[in-house]
Amino acid sequence: MPDASSAASNPHLDAYTARGLKGRIFSGVQPTGNLHLGNYLGAIRNFVRLQGHYDCLFCVVDQHAITQWQDPKELTQQTREIAAAFLAAGLDAKNNIIFNQSTVAAHAQLAWIFNCVARIGWMNRMTQFKEKSGKDRENASLGLLAYPSLMAADILLYKATHVPVGEDQKQHLELTRDIAIKFNNDFAVPDFFPIAEPLIFGAATRVMSLRDGTKKMSKSDPSDYSRINLTDDADAITQKIRKAKTDPLPMPESEADAEKRPEADNLLGIYAAIADKEKADVVREFAGQQFSAFKNALTDLAVAKIGPIGSEMQRLVKDPGHVDAVLRDGAERANALARPILDEVYRVVGFLKP
């Protein structure tokens, strides 16, 4: 568990400390493409570990998804699949709030206010916008540019005190903090919004492609052999690990040696993450062995740990009524938290409620 003690002076933590919790967490996953091992190790598994320590909201961020074109039917199905993955991985829907973003209108309502607080220069500096818009920035959607403002609304709508983030989202969380500070200052309401703290997990959470150890494992990679999908069965997992790119040398003798060999380093990192071990220990365990022996061990481990999650996820996807009921209940509970906070924001801003 990451240590959140550095934020102990945050006045928003008092209510949670009294309940033996460290604060409130908001985090979300976009319903785009197939969920893969990198999504599980980098995010969803950490969600499961955080529950019980924090007051948690886990969201399928479907409004973020449409900043780039999505097929409507696929978006509906993938929203259910993300929720099913949350449940299959072990999230407790009774003790956490699991919902999809579009069912709580206050996300968009607060995002508009934050659009008026944030500065265009802040948005133009966002690395992810530059990467996703590419060379034709003039043709990118306005939503893609304003994406971080909606992300800030997601977090601050519930006055979340902590956010689990990967390195690629750290910049967006920093902007969320900037928006909170500016809102508090502009409207002379000190401490109205908390300055959310990042929870960044270890380096092993960065999972690279099975076909190219220099590229991140991605939902959008055209090769299905570049990733292990959470819904892959034992045969598919076995095939993908067997065909994963390697080099002709035996397994690295040290971490320094592994770092010079991206494919070997990636597979060692995946093994360490799934086994919940330090990578240095895994390097020592397999040092000098043939890749074939290591791949067999990695296959056995992945099938044992990831296979059951995929099986349960597939079962849940075939029961959309149950998944929808979880999301509906979560939306009701999220709305109950969000509405009074948004009402107070409206009062602070000066919106008339006749």
Q: 252 Cβ partners below 8 Å, 6+ apart?
A: 258, 261, 264, 265, 268, 283, 287
Tell me how far apart the terminal alpha carbons of the chain are, to the nearest angstrom. Answer: 47
219 is catalytic: yes
Give the length of the chain.
354
Tokens of 253: 């003798």
List 182, 219, 245, 305, catalytic entry: 219
Give one DSSP letter per residue of 290-348, joined into a string.
-HHHHHHHHHHHHHHHHHHHHHHHHHHHT-HHHHHHHHHHHHHHHHHHHHHHHHHHHHH
* Amino acid, single-letter form, for residue 203: A
Q: Which residue's structure tokens are 């780039």?
A: 68
Residue 281: what are its φ and ψ, rounded to 5°?
A: -70, -40
* Helix/strand/coil for 264: helix
- Residue 273 and residue 202: Cα distance in Å, rounded? 9
- Residue 209 and residue 204: Cα distance in Å, rounded? 14
Closest CA to 212 of 261, 258, 273: 261
305 is catalytic: no
- Residue 160 and residue 7: Cα distance in Å, rounded? 12
Instruction: Label residues 209-228 b or e (16+ Cβ within 10 Å = b).
Output: bbbbbeebbbbebeeebbbb
List 182, 216, 245, 305, catalytic entry: 216
318 is catalytic: no
List 132, 182, 245, 305, catalytic entry: 132
Please give the positions annotated as active site: 132, 216, 219
